[in-house]
């Protein structure tokens, strides 16, 4: 099993979960191990730029790969700053991954897509996979292109390609430079001195959150499912009111203050229907608030 973007936030969780479940896993990333806190052996993690087809082909030539979880990508803020790099990695790199899967007879490619393919939606619209995709930035547009490219490859060459559209992934260890709150709402629940979390959205806004462990489990479910009825699924995301999130964090730890901004949620839905995924794969989750409370209790103990 190959995981691209294996040193990223989601990639690390997926790699560990696949290993726990007994898969023989190889991870590739262009981030050197020295820049992360991970200590995986060189046999498990390779320094590979997926946009360089020769590098990627070497991985497939040296190992038998039955499936791929494709997560490597230039993230939204960086993509807006550097469109050529984002296009090179998110589109050309993804094409290389899919082409190698075809060339080397990989059974299934599971693609980490994004709810940003839908673009901005009215606050009360519950978005399902049947809704029209209308991305508003380079990142979402690239995700949508790769979805359709993978679908075309599946139809032309008989390979399986499935996409999981994910919301904002939260949990400890996110290491995000632009949205640190995604990890701080978990990590700072254990502090014993005053701390502040900056959350840019207005209190009445709703954000779609999914815990990193839930999204890793969802991706692995798509890996191991004997057959899949659809080629695209919304991930198991929870629509959380920003004001309620602030109150919950501050209630769990009185040392933490959450400072809100006034921003609207743009470029993403606010409520999502993930019943296709949940029903077909019998998938359930624990609410974000319960997960936070559990983390705070473990820290206190």
Query: Which CATH number fits the domain that encloses residue 178?
Result: 3.90.25
CATH number assigned to the domain comprising residue 138: 3.40.50.720
Position 11 scores a pLDDT of 97
Which of residues 37 and 84 earns the better pLDDT score?
A: 84
Q: Where do we find the tokens 């949205």?
A: 179
Residues 194, 255 within the same domain: yes
Report pLDDT for 174. 85
Q: Measuring CA to CA, which residue among 242, 181, 176, 164 is closest to residue 207?
A: 242
Each residue's pLDDT tens digit, 101-151: 999 999 999 999 999 999 999 999 999 999 999 999 999 999 999 999 999
Q: Show the CA angle centred on residue 179, arms to residues 68 and 28, nearest 5°.
A: 25
Within this chain, do residues 157 and 182 fall inside the same structural domain, yes or no?
Answer: no
Q: Are residues 203 and 103 in the same domain?
A: no
Q: What total number of domains does the chain contain?
A: 2
Let me know whether 178 and 52 are in one domain. no
| 111 and 122 inside one domain | yes
Q: Residue 300: which pLDDT band, with cuts at 50, 70 and 90?
A: very low
pLDDT tens digit sequence for 10-47: 999 999 999 999 999 999 999 876 555 554 444 588 99
Are residue 26 and residue 42 in the same domain, yes or no? yes
Residues 73 and 144 in one domain: yes
- Residue range of the domain that includes 254: 169-209+238-267+276-300
205 and 160 housed in the same domain? no
CA distances (Å), origin 165, targets 72, 147, 231, 233, 237 = 14, 10, 11, 6, 9
- Predicted TM-score (pTM) of the model is 0.94
Confirm if 72 and 29 have CB atoms less than 8 A apart: yes
Specify whether 19 is located in the same domain as 124: yes
Is residue 46 domain-shared with residue 133, that is, in the same domain?
Answer: yes
Verify that 143 and 23 share a domain, yes or no: yes
How do residues 178-222 score in pLDDT, each as one tens digit?
899 999 999 999 999 999 999 999 999 999 999 999 999 999 999
245 within 8 A of 234, measured Cβ to Cβ = no
Residues 146, 189, single domain; the answer is no
């Amino acid at each position: 099993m190959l995981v691209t973007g294996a040193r990223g936030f989601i990639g690390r969780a997926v790699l560990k979960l696949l290993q726990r479940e007994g898969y023989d896993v190889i991870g590739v990333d262009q981030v050197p191990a020295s820049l992360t806190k991970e200590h995986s052996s060189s046999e498990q993690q390779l320094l590979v730029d997926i946009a360089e087809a020769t590098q990627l082909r070497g991985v497939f030539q040296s190992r038998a790969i039955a499936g791929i979880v494709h997560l490597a990508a230039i993230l939204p803020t960086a993509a807006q700053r550097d469109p050529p790099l984002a296009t090179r990695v998110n589109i050309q790199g993804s094409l290389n991954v899919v082409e190698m899967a075809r060339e080397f007879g990989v059974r299934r490619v599971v693609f980490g897509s994004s709810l940003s393919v839908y673009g901005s939606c009215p606050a009360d619209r519950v978005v399902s996979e049947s809704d029209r995709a209308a991305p508003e930035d380079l990142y979402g547009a690239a995700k949508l292109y790769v979805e359709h490219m993978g679908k075309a490859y599946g139809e032309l060459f008989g390979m399986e390609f499935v996409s999981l559209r994910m919301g904002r992934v939260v949990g400890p260890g996110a290491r995000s430079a632009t949205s640190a709150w995604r990890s701080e709402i978990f990590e700072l629940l254990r502090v014993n001195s005053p701390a502040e979390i900056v959350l840019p959205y207005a209190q009445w806004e709703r954000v779609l959150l999914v815990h990193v462990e839930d999204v890793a489990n969802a991706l692995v479910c798509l890996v191991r499912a004997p057959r899949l009825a659809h080629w695209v699924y919304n991930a198991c995301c929870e629509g959380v009111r920003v004001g309620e999130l602030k109150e919950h964090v501050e209630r769990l730890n009185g040392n933490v203050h959450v400072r809100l901004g006034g921003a609207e949620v743009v470029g993403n839905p606010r409520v999502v229907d993930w019943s296709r995924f949940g029903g077909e794969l019998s998938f359930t989750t624990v609410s974000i608030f319960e997960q936070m409370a559990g983390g705070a209790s473990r820290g206190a103990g």
